[in-house]
Amino acid sequence: MCFLRFLAQARGTLARHLAEASPVAWAAVPPDSGRTLHLVMGNESCDLDSAVSAVTLAFVYAQRHLEHDYVPILNIPRRDYPLKTEVGHMFGQCGIVESELLFRDDLPGKMAPDVSVILVDHHVSPLAPNVAEILDHRPLDESSPSLQLLPASCERSIDASVGSCATLVAERYLAEEHPRSVAVARLLHATIVLDTINFAPAAKRFGPKDQAMVEQLEKELNRQATQRTVLFDELVAARADISSLTLTEVLRKDMKTLHTDRQVVPMAGMPILVRDFVAKSGAEKAVREFAAGSNLLVILGMWVAPADGQVQRDVGLISLNGQSQLVERVRLALVESTDPKLELQPHEPDTPRFMGGCFLRQHNVQATRKHILPVVKRALLEWESEHGCDSDDVYFFKEKPQLGLS
């Protein structure tokens, strides 16, 4: 069966395994079929690696084990798919349409014990008791309690020496002659090139296996290694292309949530500068919609000049209910942070006023959210410990605001 037909049939395959009568629970598979349903799932960022690893591995296994069913699931709600612009770009190039893909919200809430799950590009999952196999390239997270819930029989292929989970899928794809698919080879190839930062020595994001797999895929696709740069630039541009997104979607595109005991603080990353974002008409409405229920919103902007690849970064802090002391506290923590120094300074010319927020240019462009998040968290915890629960100021925190993401 060809790859595209396999994807087109996935929904029907899944439906056969679901109870028609009860959409909230799994049906037992008809006893005479004996077919096990295997769900192949990537991680919740649904980046290119996760999406490609899921669809390609499901296809390869389905063609090799015809006695069972394999269904790829993208681990995001369907409405977030447009945010994954580089996934949409590569899938579109290969003729994969959104309506044929299956998402987390296509699954019922409860998982029957006889459903098998294959995790790609992650290994910590709430579905741990159902996991039969793992392909991942993140170092094993021994501290995670979900690891204890994995069945003893779970096959683990965890290889932190590779830059891309797609390399591990490519290894399996190339190990046997059947099946063969140009789309599968293209998707795996593109993902490895993107994840390894096009094998940039300075980034050190690849190992010998990534190299070997990319070369074998190029042989199959009849491509030259010299064509990689064009492909890499195209994928990076697709990832940063927000032209088809609403401003709220731009905020949601790459967000992480910081939790303390009393606060939920969304940290949005975006491929434009915050100062340019807040200058757009409708920005305030988007901010209120995105951060509804939270007190503080942190926005990290990054702009890569297309001409020379020069990076600019900036940071925005906005209190949704005008708590300027909290903004000031987090601002000070960031300005005084030395590990690393962020080198924050007002924009020149300064950003026009926007929702009472604070907007700073980050001159140390090497520092990322990974560095900024712990500084913000520490500041929030200190703030909370100084302002007891009985203070009027923080009374509403006790409500444990939910992130309104609609």
Q: Are 53 and 120 contacting, i.e. CB atoms less than 8 angstroms apart?
A: yes
CB count, 10 Å around CB of 3? Answer: 24
| H, E, C per residue of 42-90 | CCCCCCHHHHHHHHHHHHHHHHHCCCCEEEEEECCCHHHHHHCHHHHHH
Closer to Mn ion at the Cβ: 141 or 176?
141
Rounded to a whole number of angstroms, the minimum distance from the CB of residue 44 to Mn ion is 12
Percent helix, percent strand, percent coil in the chain, to nearest 5: 45, 20, 40
Strands 344-346 and 155-158: unpaired
Give one word for 314, left, alpha or beta, with left for phi > 0 and alpha for psi -120 to 50: beta
State the maximum Cα–Cα separation within the chain, in Å, rounded to a whole number: 72
Report the DSSP beta bridge partners of residue 341. 338
Q: List CB contacts of 352: < 8 A, sequence separation 6 or more.
A: 278, 279
Residues 294 and 70: their CA atoms lie apart, in Å, by 40
Rounded to a whole number of angstroms, the minimum distance from the CB of residue 172 to Mn ion is 16
DSSP assignments along 244-306, one per residue: TS-HHHHHHTEEEEEE-SS-EEEEEEESS-HHHHHTSTTHHHHHHHHTBT-SEEEEEEEEE-T
DSSP 393: G
Rounded to a whole number of angstroms, the minimum distance from the CB of residue 87 to Mn ion is 13
Give the C-alpha distances (Å, rounded to integers) separating 38 from 133, 167, 379.
10, 21, 44
Size of the site for Mn ion (CB under 5 A): 3
Residues 339 and 346: their CA atoms lie apart, in Å, by 20
DSSP 36: P
Straight-line distance from the first to the last Cα atom of the chain, in angstroms, rounded to the nearest whole number: 39
Closer to Mn ion at the Cβ: 191 or 337?
191
Residues 373 and 267: their CA atoms lie apart, in Å, by 8
Stretch that binds Mn ion, among 41-49, 85-93, 176-184, 397-405 (CB under 5 A): 41-49
Rounded to a whole number of angstroms, the minimum distance from the CB of residue 137 to Mn ion is 6
Does 49 interact with Mn ion (rule: CB under 5 A)? yes
Does 136 interact with Mn ion (rule: CB under 5 A)? no
Closer to Mn ion at the Cβ: 124 or 317?
124
Rounded to a whole number of angstroms, the minimum distance from the CB of residue 121 to Mn ion is 4
- Subset of residues 161 to 200 that bind Mn ion, contact rule: CB under 5 A: 165
Residue of minimal Cβ distance to Mn ion: 49
Residues 26 and 264: their CA atoms lie apart, in Å, by 33
Instruction: Give the x-and-dash track for 97-126 against Mn ion (CB under 5 A).
Output: ------------------------x-----
Rounded to a whole number of angstroms, the minimum distance from the CB of residue 1 to Mn ion is 27
CA angle 232, 237, 238 (to 5 degrees): 100
DSSP 106: G
For Mn ion, the binding residues (CB under 5 A) are 49, 121, 165
